[in-house]
């Protein structure tokens, strides 16, 4: 185990915190820590694909996407079949399954939602995620418990850097094909790939390829990896 999630009180209410146990911990280790915590605390009942009576609370909220989230969907056979023949599977996926908002140079990418506001992948009749094994990082790390300050910062940092890489690749791909970027909403759009820092997600397909220490600000990294020694 390279990352551990554990219960704590946040603002007097049930929360959770994180600690890093090994310097080579990756984003995947963080995800596994949170999934393990959910399984231990809730018997896996949280989330729209777990056993028993699943919870679909996260399926009605905005789900920001990172590049590895989209790469995981593109590896799914049922998605690939739907995108067959597209010149760019990435752009075709974003066009069909995402919601892209461009405001000047700023691009935001989230999963598309149905008219009732639920996620495109929610099978409302069964109360389940249609592609649970491929659900994005934001879904995997959604807990009905408050995160500690540092746990919230880790999640936010991973999502922001992972989305920057998704946007950078979308813009590069659009330029390569000589077409406009995917946009479902826009206001004076002028996004450029050069404006998006490649960061530690550059060229990576999976969360297991990205080290947390390369991704997190040094102070936050030190806090997480030293927490056991300091008895936090
Ligand atoms: S991807 Fe699945 S788990 Fe995530 S919001 Fe959509 S239906 Fe829910």
Higher pLDDT, 126 or 32: 32
Cβ atoms 59, 130 nearer than 8 A:
no
Label residue 229 by pLDDT band (50, 70, 90).
Answer: low
Phi, psi of 113, rounded to the nearest 5 degrees: -120, 155
DSSP sequence for 107-142: EEEEE-B-TTS-BTTEETTTTEETTGGG--HHHHT-
* Residue 53, pLDDT score: 57
- Could you give the percent of the chain with pLDDT greater than 70? 92
CA of 215 to the centre of ligand 1 (A): 25
Cβ atoms 101, 184 nearer than 8 A:
yes
Task: Note the pLDDT tens digit of each residue in 29-49.
Answer: 999 999 999 888 876 555 555
Task: Note the pLDDT tens digit of each residue in 193-215.
Answer: 999 988 999 999 999 999 999 99
CA of 129 to the centre of ligand 1 (A): 5
Task: Note the pLDDT tens digit of each residue in 129-151.
Answer: 899 899 999 999 988 789 999 99
User: Residue 109 to residues 53, 56, 103, 172, 226: CA-CA distances in angstroms?
Assistant: 30, 21, 12, 15, 34
What stretch of H or E contains 13?
strand 13-20
Domain residue ranges in the chain: 3-230
Where helices occur in the chain by DSSP H, the ranges are 27-42, 67-74, 77-83, 89-97, 137-140, 149-177, 212-215, 218-230
Residues 6+ apart with CB under 8 A from 203: none
Residue with the smallest CA separation from ligand 1 atom 2 is: 129
* Residue 145, pLDDT score: 86
Residue with the smallest CA separation from ligand 1 atom 8 is: 59
Residue with the smallest CA separation from ligand 1 atom 4 is: 139
Give the chain's mean pLDDT. Answer: 91
Work out which ligand 1 atom sits closest to the CA atom of 138: 4
CA distance 68 to 133: 13
**Ligand 1 pocket: which of 49, 58, 120 to mutate (most atoms <8 Å of CB)?**
58
């Amino acid at each position: 185990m390279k990352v551990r999630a554990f219960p704590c009180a946040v603002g007097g209410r049930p929360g959770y915190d994180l600690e890093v146990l090994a310097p080579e911990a990756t984003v995947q280790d963080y995800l596994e820590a949170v999934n393990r915590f959910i399984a231990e605390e809730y018997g896996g009942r949280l989330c729209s694909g777990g056993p028993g009576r699943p919870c679909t609370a996260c399926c009605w909220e905005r789900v920001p996407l990172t590049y590895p989230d989209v790469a995981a969907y593109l590896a799914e056979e049922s998605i690939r079949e739907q995108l067959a023949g597209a010149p760019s599977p990435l752009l075709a996926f974003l066009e069909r399954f995402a919601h892209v908002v461009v405001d000047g140079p700023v691009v935001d990418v989230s999963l598309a939602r149905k008219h009732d506001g639920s996620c495109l992948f929610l099978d409302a009749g069964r109360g389940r995620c249609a592609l649970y094994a491929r659900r994005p990082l934001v879904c995997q790390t959604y807990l009905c418990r408050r995160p500690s300050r540092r746990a919230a910062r880790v999640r936010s940092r991973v999502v922001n850097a992972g989305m920057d890489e998704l946007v950078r690749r979308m813009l590069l791909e659009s330029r390569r094909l000589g077409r406009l970027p995917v946009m479902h909403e826009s206001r004076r759009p002028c996004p450029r790939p050069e404006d998006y820092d490649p960061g530690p997600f550059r060229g990576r397909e999976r969360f297991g390829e990205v080290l947390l220490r390369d991704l997190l600000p040094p102070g936050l990294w030190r806090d997480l990896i030293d927490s056991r020694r300091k008895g936090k």
